[in-house]
Every structure is written in C-alpha cells, then in structure tokens.
Amino acid sequence: QLWSDHLNVQLHPKSLYVIREYMHDGDCGCLEAFAQGEGLLQDPTCMEELEDRLHYFAEECDYLQGFQVLCDLHNGFSGVGAKVTELLRDEYSGKGILSWGLTPATSNAAVNCNGWVFPLQDSRKNVYRLMNTALGIVHLSAHSSLFCPLSLSGSLGLK
C-alpha cells in the first residue's frame, strides 16, 4: 500500500528518520502546513537526532563536496526541508547545497487562483498548497547554493 513496499534498494538504517506523529496511522493526521514542518525541527530531541545522523554520514566521506536535498513543496515537508537546508548551511557553510523543490502534477479538473492552478478540492487545501509552495521556494532558495523547482506539470501549478 505504500511506496516503500516497492523499494528494492536497501537503505542504511541511519538514513531513515520516521516522524511517528505523521505516519499513515499516526495521531496528528496529515503534515499539511509549512509551519507544522518547521515546528517538527524545533523539538530539541528531533534536531539532535537529525544532527547525529548527518554527522555520521559526513564523517564517512573522504571529501565532502556538498548536499542534495529533495523536498516536497506543496505540503508541510516544505517546512522540514527549509529547516534542514538552514541546518546544512549553518553546519557546513563552505559546502554546496543543491535543493530540488518537488510538486505534483495537477489534474485537468482545476481552479485558477490568481494565476496558480489547483485541483478541485476544498479551498483550505488549495490555500495551504499555495502558501507551502511559496514559503518553500523562498526559504529553500535562501538557504541553498542552487534551488531547482521540479514538477511533471511543467509549471509548478502556475498558469
């Protein structure tokens, strides 16, 4: 039922960090707002665990040149990605950070909101998607050496 069920690659256990509250059967439901994602990394235990995992892999490198960050822009993970790129910039200021902002392709049934096109859903989700995308682009661009938006729709939802 999940994408990870079809993953044929064995990932290192330290390369995965599961956010228990936002699992498919979690207590908090969907991670749908930028601030929710940012708030996750305000927790000192979560941030400490993330830093430990980051340092583990950085110490294994013979010649660390930089980082690639792939991040959903349309949901709360844009806030997580913004905080992670900020952490990378602070910890490894001389290293390059290439960030990819990922957005899903929109369906044909869509509404137009000031030039942004969203699938027909409830308006609250459309506003969250617009705000998450805008905040994600601004923050990831500010903390990355290079930011590249990526979507199958070809327009990031812009008409």
Residue 159 lies in a domain: no
Q: Phi/psi at 59 (nearest 5 deg)?
A: -70, -25
Closest CA to 80 of 90, 72, 68, 88: 72
pLDDT tens digits along 6-57: 888 888 888 888 777 766 555 555 788 899 889 888 889 889 999 999 999 9
Q: Over 50: is that where the pLDDT of 159 sits?
A: no
Q: How many domains does the chain have?
A: 1
pLDDT tens digits along 115-147: 555 555 567 777 888 899 999 999 999 999 999
Q: Phi/psi at 72 (nearest 5 deg)?
A: -65, 135
Residue 157 lies in a domain: no
Residue 158 lies in a domain: no
Determine the structural domain holding residue 56 and report its residue range: 3-151
- The CA distances from residue 90 to 27, 30, 41, in Å, are 32, 29, 15
